[in-house]
Each structure stands twice: as structure tokens, then as C-alpha cells.
Structure 1
């Protein structure tokens, strides 16, 4: 995979990124402990026949390197934009999940009209007491036993009706897959950032047409966080889905459909207006 050198607030970084497909650019930003393929595998397959897909490995994932200093949303946004620049994308659509939604929003706030549209799933503007306590617990479990963290994530991030729970064997396969995806040192650095996110001041600077997706069954980052994001991003559209935090993992076709529909329907010019909540979609 290609790599690009960029400068962060703490020093140089070399960012690995996925680059596939051709056509109008779409940049994907993965969540905590994930990878582009793990987070967006089906979406990448759907997009690449008509779009150039760029998906950076944020610090803590893949072979991306940096100084090892504590992470910041601004620095991860720099990595996202460096990958887009290196891939030759002057304008692009931007999609983020969980921590990736926070980073994507910050990147959009920095980019003005370079971002054609913005899709934010399961993100948040500010880490409150509950989020900070949750991610601190995840970090402690990661240090003790990666498999234990994988079990907790599956039990809290997925809906009870997800196919991952259809039988014991399926559940154990998913536990093994998630445990293998987590990288103790890198994921721990991302979790520390999760505890301290505060991008509320940046969200009003977003000028791209934005879709904020909230899972009604999300107990990891509950819907009130996405509601606040939608209130702060001018003219954002808020859509509720009957899903948990792991929506892109447990319902990849549905997630991809929402993303591609919004990308296809984006308008060349945007007139900011009030937030427009959508009714919950059927499960």
C-alpha cells in the first residue's frame, strides 16, 4: 500500500493508506482499533467500481508511524488530508465511523469546499464522563487480555439480534477476529484519545453537506451524541437507524446503501439550514 510523509504537531509521521478504484474520490476514516478493510470492507467493494477510494490507517493501525506522542484529533485529521493529497484528490467525499467520524468532521472543518459531502456515523462532539469511563475500561481490558476486550465490544457494540450471536461458534469466530484486529499499543493510544475528544468548536466550521447517522440501539456512543453533532454542523441531516454502534460491521449492505445514496444525491451547492431529523428506519 502507498505511504505518505506528513508533519504532525509532535513531529513527522508516515501514513499508510489504502488506494483503490477510479472516479470521484471518497475518503474513509476507520474507528478505534479497526483498519480500513475491517471497518469498511463491503463499502469499499461497493464504491471502487465508480470511485477512487482512499482510506488511511490512523496512528495505531497498520504500518503508520509517528513520534509516539499522545494522539489528537487534529493530528489524525492531518493524516487523513495527507493521504487524500498524496492520492491526488483535490475534492472528495468523506465518511467516518466512531472515532473516525470525529476525525472526519475535523478534517472537513479544515478543508472548506474540498469536501463534497460528509457522512458521520456514531461520532461525538465531546467526550463526557460516561464515554471517558467506558474507554478507560476498554483500555484496562486491552492491557489485561485482548480477548476480554473483544468479548465486551461484541456484547455492547452489536445488537442482540446480530448474526454474530446466531450460535456459539459464530460468536467465538468474531471474538477471535476482533482480538486479532486490536493492537495493544496502538489501540491503547486511540482509546486515550477517545477519552478526551472535544471538537465542538470545529463542527460549526463544516461547510459540506452532512449526513449524521445515529443507531437507536447504540449503547457505546448513544444517539444523544449524534444529535448534538447534527445540531452543531450547519444544515446537517440526522438519520436514525435501528442498529448498534457496530452498524457497518453487522449490517454492511444497509450502511453502504445509506452512504452511496447520500453521495449520489449531494448537491453542487449547499444552502445551510436547520437540522432535519429523519424518522427511524425499519430494522
Structure 2
């Protein structure tokens, strides 16, 4: 299923869970589709009407030209909610999805119930992003880029075992068009919410990974300190705790949302 945004971009989405349950939106890391939540959504759908979507440039969504912006990505979510008749929803965003969650809570606070910001930051740029974007655009394919992302996302033991979960995420990265990845990296490069994130008044849980090399535990602590009343949970993981520590992650999410 999909909608078409005001700027004519296809946004693919999927629902799990009964219609009468409260809405929970899941938002993905860069380089993945909504299937990054496969191990989490089934259990969350026992409690919530779970809406997953592919960020523009990823999965089955459109890949428009040019650089993307956090503002446009946030508006994609609002247009999706409007089209599906969702007035208000809880929101769980990881990495890039966490940037989108911050934007929504700042610019459309009436649409967000409880907010979970996982393995993300108020700002990561701009240092190093232009080189990374240039490397993505110059690459012949996604193979080396995919392996680089996997090395930053998972602990060495999981990578060495190269089990089905690693294969699942490798396949998502390989299926991502270089334009979509580069354009989304530009959105992260340009995003700086360090001042405005203080305006967030939604009940907020920040989840950080103690060994995260993409968005460090320090980024998570700074984000939690900036949002009034936010809670901070640091897990013994790298960048994708929903995969590395799924039960601990799910338990924390459910306890906060209930």
C-alpha cells in the first residue's frame, strides 16, 4: 500500500494490529526499509495498531532527485497520517527515524502522543558527511557501502557469524538506491535540532547504545538532557538494539508506552 505526497513522491506503508488499538508509528534507520522492524512489529501489534513506512529514497517508496531535508521527511509522515485518518499516534524512531520523530514533536506536537527516540541525536553534522555522500554517489554499486554500514551497526560476533539477521539487513542495504541513500545523508548532515528540541513536550524515552559508533551514548545522554522530563535508557548494544537485544528493547518500549 502507498500514498502519494504533495510533491508527487510515493510513500509505501504497512499496518499490523487491530483497527481499534492505539496507533504507533515506527520510523526506520537510513539504508533500511520498514522491514527493519520485522522482529519487533509482530509483538507490538498485540498492543498497538502499528504503522510502518518506507522513508523517501528507501524500500518501495519513491526516490526523487536532489538532496532531501528533514522538514520534507517530517511532512511525509504528516501527509501519511492525514491520508490514513490518524489524528494522533505514538512514535518510535531509530537513527534517521529519531530525527524525524524530533521534528514531528517540535513542529506538530498535537499529532504525537508518547515519543521514543532510539539511537539518534539532535545533530550529527556536518563534519565528514560531504565525503561520505560523495563516496556513495561515486560507487559502482552498494556492496562495499553495505558492508561499511553493517560494521557500524552490529557487534563483531554477529558479523562474524553472518547469520540470517545480518543477511536481512545486508539485503535491505543492497536494495537501497545510491541516490536515496546520498540524499538522506544530506538531510542528516543539515539537521541541527539542538536548540529547538528543547521545545518537545511529549513524554519522551531516549534509548542509546553503550557501544554505538554511529550515534554515541553521549549523543543520547545530551538529547535526553535537552528534552524536558525525558528518560534515558542505555543498553549494552551497538546501533540497532531492536535486533541485538530484541527482548530488552521490546520490554522497554512497552513499559514506556503503557
Q: Smaller-chain TM-score range?
A: 0.7 to 0.9
Alignment partner for residue 227 of structure 1, among 221, 236, 239? 221
Whole-Å Cα distance in 1 between the matches of residues 100 and 24 of structure 2?
A: 15
Whole-Å Cα distance in 2 between the matches of residues 174 and 235 of structure 1?
A: 36
1:1-283 equivalences under 5 Å are 1=1, 3-7=2-6, 11-22=7-18, 23-37=21-35, 39-65=36-62, 68-128=65-125, 132-133=127-128, 136-137=131-132, 140-141=135-136, 143-144=138-139, 145-162=141-158, 164-166=159-161, 173=167, 176-264=170-258
Larger CA deviation: 174-183 vs 143-152: 174-183
Tell me the secondary structure at the aligned position of residue 27 of structure 1: strand
What displacement does 1:179 show? Answer: 3.9
What displacement does 1:209 show? Answer: 0.4
In the TM superposition, what whole-angstrom CA distance separates every residue of 1:65-85 from its partner, at most 9, and x where no partner exists? 375342111111111122222
**Structure 2: gaps spanning 5 or more residues:** none
The answer to whether the 8 Å contact 2:59/2:176 transfers is no
Cα distance 1:139–1:253, how it changes in 2: closer, same or farther (>3 A)? farther
Cα distance 1:12–1:140, how it changes in 2: closer, same or farther (>3 A)? same
The answer to whether the 8 Å contact 1:135/1:194 transfers is no
Tell me the secondary structure at the aligned position of residue 249 of structure 1: helix
**Structure 1: gaps spanning 5 or more residues:** 265-283
In the TM superposition, what whole-angstrom CA distance separates every residue of 1:45-91 from its partner, at most 9, and x where no partner exists? 11223311112221101343375342111111111122222222222
Cα distance 1:113–1:188, how it changes in 2: closer, same or farther (>3 A)? same
Instruction: Tell me how large the CA RMSD over aligned residues is.
Output: 2.4
Whole-Å Cα distance in 2 between the matches of residues 66 and 112 of structure 1?
A: 28
Off by >3 Å, runs of 4+ in structure 1: 11-14, 168-176
In the TM superposition, what whole-angstrom CA distance separates every residue of 1:116-159 from its partner, at most 9, and x where no partner exists? 21000111111245xx4167437615642411112122222212
Whole-Å Cα distance in 2 between the matches of residues 30 and 78 of structure 1?
A: 15
What displacement does 1:6 show? Answer: 3.2
The answer to whether the 8 Å contact 1:98/1:124 transfers is yes
What displacement does 1:174 show? Answer: 5.6
The answer to whether the 8 Å contact 1:20/1:48 transfers is yes
How many residue pairs were aligned? 255
Whole-Å Cα distance in 1 between the matches of residues 75 and 189 of structure 2?
A: 20
The answer to whether the 8 Å contact 1:29/1:95 transfers is yes
